[in-house]
Amino acid sequence: MKKSLIIALDFPDLDETKRFLKHFQSEKLAVKVGMELFYQNGPTIISYVKEHGHDIFLDLKLHDIPNTVKMAMRGLATLNVEMVNVHAAGGSRMMEAALEGLDSGTASGKKRPLCIGVTQLTSTSQKQMNLEQNIPGTLEDSVLHYAKLTHDAGLDGVVCSTHEVMSIHGRISDQFMTVTPGIRNAGGQMHDQHRIATPEQARIIGSDAIVVGRSITSAKDPLQAYIDVKAAWEGIRC
């Protein structure tokens, strides 16, 4: 999933997903299946997307006691997806348990899915973090703290905003994957996101993968929107 443009399939059901993917018959995509779709369609949606040759980031953001996360991950490993995630706020032991579950559920000879930690959601503002989560300091401090915890627990990377990519790579490791949502074309609508960047900015600061939802899924011509975002992300002038 390194250097991927991951399209967030934030749709309510399989029919809408099928309609959307019809625009991309000849493209091999990386897509994100999140709670909305997975809670409605479960493994059926995963099989459908896989049959069409796309890579999957299964974004269920697990956060529970270590044993529950371990057993859930054991099941998810059998779905043959490329990447899954947990909330880093669940703690080191929970993240280690997630890896144990993935290892035990991955069939021999197959690669276990990458596992990344969610730091602070890109919809979270600093004020909200300070007042509602009762975490003092800056968002960047909190994201770096969670990134370090995630790295030390042995996970492959984090979900973070583009604003923290350079400090994570600088202070933790260049090899530690940064997956960044909150991507908007210049002048595009922010919606509920607070910490946003353009695909060009994401490339320049060294994001390892970008997650793009509404800028592509709500576009009048999703294929063209995808081509434009991909060109900007890859640094190709159209």
Q: Are 14 and 45 in contact (CB under 8 A)?
A: yes
Active-site residue identified among 2, 61, 127, 220: 61
CB of 107 to ligand C5P, least distance (A): 28
In whole angstroms, the minimum distance from the beta carbon of 191 to ligand C5P comes to 6
Q: Is 61 a catalytic residue?
A: yes
- Name the minimum Å distance from CB 151 to ligand C5P: 17
Distances (CA, A) of 154 to 100, 116, 123: 11, 10, 26
Give me the count of residues in the chain. Answer: 238
CB of 170 to ligand C5P, least distance (A): 20
Residue whose Cβ sits closest to ligand C5P: 213
Q: Quickly list H helices, the chain.
A: 14-21, 35-41, 43-51, 66-77, 92-105, 126-131, 139-152, 165-171, 199-205, 214-217, 222-234
Question: Residue 18 or residue 214: which is nearer to ligand C5P going by CB?
Answer: 214
Which of 122, 162 has the CB closer to ligand C5P?
A: 122
Nearer of residues 32 and 70 to ligand C5P, judged by Cβ: 32
Chain residues in the site for ligand C5P (CB under 6 A): 8, 10, 34, 118, 121-122, 159, 181-183, 191, 193, 211-215
Beta-carbon contacts of 181 under 8 Å, excluding residues fewer than 6 positions away, are: 8, 122, 159, 161, 193, 210, 211, 212, 213
Name the residues annotated as catalytic: 61
